[in-house]
Amino acid sequence: MTDPIIRLSGIDKFYGDFQALYNVNAEIRTGEFFSLLGPSGCGKTTLLRTIAGFEDVSAGHVEIAGQSMDNVPANRRPTNMVFQSYAIFPHMSVAENVAYGLKARKMPKEQIKTAVEAALKQVGLAGYGDRASHAMSGGQRQRVALARALVLKPKVLLLDEPLSALDKKMREQMQSELRHLQRAVGITFILVTHDQEEALTMSDRIAVMFEGRIGQLASPQELYRRPVNREVAEFIGVMNFLNVSVTNGAGGTFDCEIAGLGKATIPAEQAPGGVDASVTAGVRPEMLTILSDENSRSEREASGIVQDVYYYGDMTYYDVQLDGVDHPVTISMRNTAGRTVLSRKDRARVGWGAESVLLLK
């Protein structure tokens, strides 16, 4: 594995008495698409701005490409930023915006022209150079902002919620374009977003942040399949939680009695935070199965009553109240050919497996 392009060590950030970041440690790999994901106010934008150099750290260090960034101002860091508002200079044309950073580097005029044209082509704006920047649409401004940052060939491109101002369709298009662009230029991208779907679909790795701390840093798959705690599990996708009592914890496995489901032996790696009185059992909706006909069998079965049915065409979501549990669990089923869709008040047999249950704190 290559050396990390960014190393964050022990970063604290205070605003007055308010602490925005608590001892943040992370390494971001060269060339990866990295996301900072979290609810608003979790410190993700603050962290991005400390990397960019707009915020001083109160404690700790930012290192970029092996160089300490202590006392290096934003204008001398090998990072560039795409702002949430895009921050396109309204008094300059598109080409002047893109050339802005190159002119600061005193690059010869001819070279600037070539570089600007190449950058505009890269983001799909070839021929737009002479346009007035305030006449561009939201999506186009976004591309100008990208071109303006990428033309400087930064070691790291920082993107602060760049898609939040776009409508749904445009956002989905830009998501795939950004991913392609990142692969094409090979620059490390760090994206700040509050949209878990966006983070999951675009990123190589994601740091989920809560209240100034990194809750988990992992690949999208790992985050979804093996969240380290209840907070992360709730934030990424849907997770059903059931009470659990652990009867025996010897030999790397836990013998459990899960409310509504029954007994199971769960391996220790499915209890990332260990086990104590506060632990609950978590299971994803698609890991539970409705056994809709007589012949279908599962390793383990439970039963309950269908409370609500949400039919989505390709999928059906059921809220099922398992026997002996006071709140329903969500179960998702693919509507394959010949599968019956149950109705409200129907009794349902629910199949499950011990390998899909997590013990979370």
Partner 1 sequence: MKSGTWFKLYIGVFLIFLYAPALLLPVFAFNDSSIVSFPLKGFTLNWFNVLWETEALHTATKNSLLIAVSTAIIATSLGILAARASSRYKFRGQKAVMGFIMVPLVLPEIIVGVSLLVVILQMGFDLSLWTIVLGHVLICTPFCVAILSSAFLSLDQSLEEASFDLGRSKLATFWLVTMPLVLPGVVSAMLISFTISLDEFIIAFFLAGTEPTLPVYIWGQLRFPQKLPSLMALGTILLILSLTLLATAEYFRRRSARKTGIEDAGGFL
Partner 2 sequence: MSGFAKWRRSEEASGWLLVSPTLVYSILLLAAPLAMVIALSFWTQDYLDLDKTFTLKNYIEAWSEPIYQTLMARSLKISAFVTALTILLAFPVAYYVSFYVPQKRKPLWIFLITIPFWTSYLMRIFLWKVILGYNGVVNGSLLGLGVIEQPLSFILYNQNAVVVTLAHAWVPFAILPIFVALEKIDRSLLEAAEDLGDGPLRRFIRVTLPLAMPGVVAATVIVFIPTIGDYVTPRLVGGPNGLMISNMIELQFKKANNAPLGAALALSAMFLVSVVSLVFVWMNRKYLVGQK
Please give the residue ranges that form the binding site for partner 2 (CB under 8 A). Answer: 14-16, 56-59
Stretch that binds partner 1, among 47-55, 183-191, 252-260, 269-277 (CB under 8 A): 47-55
Choosing from 11, 42, 52, 190, the residue that interacts with partner 1 (CB under 8 A) is 52
Choosing from 20, 24, 81, 199, the residue that interacts with partner 1 (CB under 8 A) is 81
Which CB, 55 or 161, lies closer to partner 2?
Answer: 55
Q: Of 50, 56, 47, 51, whose CA–CA distance to 154 is shortest?
A: 51
100 binds partner 1 (CB under 8 A): yes
Which CB, 189 or 318, lies closer to partner 1?
Answer: 189
Query: At closest approach, how far in Å is the CB of 177 from partner 1?
Result: 21
Which CB, 46 or 240, lies closer to partner 1?
Answer: 46
75 binds partner 1 (CB under 8 A): yes
Among partner 2, partner 1, none, partner that 81 touches (CB below 5 to 8 angstroms by kind): partner 1
Among partner 2, partner 1, none, partner that 162 touches (CB below 5 to 8 angstroms by kind): none
- β-bridge partners, 264: 256
Grouping H, G, I as helix, E, B as strand and the rest as coil, residue 236 is: coil
56 Cβ contact partners less than 8 Å away, ≥ 6 residues apart: 50
Q: Is 3 exposed, middle or buried (0-12, 13-18, 19+ CB in 10 A)?
A: exposed
- Whether residue 349 contacts residue 286, with contact meaning beta carbons closer than 8 Å, is answered with no
Please count the residues of this chain forming the interface with partner 1, following the rule CB under 8 A. Answer: 25
Among partner 1, partner 2, none, partner that 71 touches (CB below 5 to 8 angstroms by kind): none
| Residue-wise burial string across 304-318, b where 16 or more C-beta atoms lie within 10 A, e elsewhere | bebeeeeeeeeebeb
Site for partner 1 in 141-200 (CB under 8 A): 148-149, 152
Q: Is 231 exposed, middle or buried (0-12, 13-18, 19+ CB in 10 A)?
A: middle
Question: In this structure, what are the phi and psi dihedrals at residue 48, rounded to the nearest 5 degrees?
Answer: -60, -40
Among partner 1, partner 2, none, partner that 80 touches (CB below 5 to 8 angstroms by kind): partner 1
Question: In this structure, what are the phi and psi dihedrals at residue 58, rounded to the nearest 5 degrees?
Answer: -80, -30
- Whether residue 94 contacts residue 141, with contact meaning beta carbons closer than 8 Å, is answered with no
Report d(CA 44, CA 40) in Å as an integer.
8
Query: At closest approach, how far in Å is the CB of 319 from partner 2?
Result: 35
Report d(CA 179, CA 269) in Å as an integer.
32
Helix, strand, coil distribution of the chain in percent, nearest 5: 25, 35, 35
54 binds partner 1 (CB under 8 A): yes
Query: At closest approach, how far in Å is the CB of 350 from partner 2?
Result: 46
Query: At closest approach, how far in Å is the CB of 17 from partner 2?
Result: 10
Among partner 2, partner 1, none, partner that 57 touches (CB below 5 to 8 angstroms by kind): partner 2
Which CB, 153 or 183, lies closer to partner 1?
Answer: 153
Report d(CA 66, CA 174) in Å as an integer.
32
124 Cβ contact partners less than 8 Å away, ≥ 6 residues apart: 143, 177
Among partner 1, partner 2, none, partner that 74 touches (CB below 5 to 8 angstroms by kind): partner 1
Stretch that binds partner 1, among 18-26, 32-40, 79-87, 189-197 (CB under 8 A): 79-87
DSSP secondary structure letter of residue 255: E
Which CB, 58 or 298, lies closer to partner 2?
Answer: 58
Q: Is 27 exposed, middle or buried (0-12, 13-18, 19+ CB in 10 A)?
A: middle
Which CB, 154 or 304, lies closer to partner 1?
Answer: 154
Among partner 1, partner 2, none, partner that 91 touches (CB below 5 to 8 angstroms by kind): partner 1
**Interacting residues toward partner 1 by CB under 8 A:** 52-54, 73-76, 79-81, 83-85, 87, 89-91, 100-101, 104-105, 134, 148-149, 152
